[in-house]
Copies of this chain bind each other. A is one copy, B any other.
């Protein structure tokens, strides 16, 4: 509830109008499970136009209120995010996503900048693996099968 209010305030701060449709999209996004597609949101907001849902999610992306997740099969999903710079650890079996903010890419980036004479602006890191539960399940399967 107050989360929505916070988002609304940030939208207003940027000069965006708070419309009925936008509110409905915000609510739907908040009610999604961990990560979702734009299509999921479209289905949760009957009556709101496709384009409006895409537009609203793009605004949320611009405001860093939502982030993209690249799944290992190449699919792009979305996820609420109140934090700033962070990365994702994606389970390739169950699709669970964990954020991690401890991003020690900095030394690498600095070294890279020196070696290449690039002025480095940003980086994007996704890590793929198998979560504890899926790891245990797999071990069991191997033992049984």
Contacts and interface: CB of A to CB of B under 8 A. Distances in A.
Interface residues of A, number: 35
- Oligomeric state, in copies: 2
Contacts of A98: 116, 118
Interface stretch (A24-32, A37-45, A48-56, A101-109): A101-109
Nearest to A120: B129
B128 A123 contact: yes
A70 B108 CA distance: 19
A118 B120 CA distance: 30
A79 to B, nearest CB: 16
Interface stretch (A1-9, A15-23, A130-138): A130-138
A104 B108 contact: yes
A92 B107 CA distance: 21
A127 B131 contact: no
B123 A127 contact: yes
A107 B105 contact: no
Contacts of A127: 109, 112, 120, 122-124
Interface string A82-122: 00000001011000001010111101110111001111111
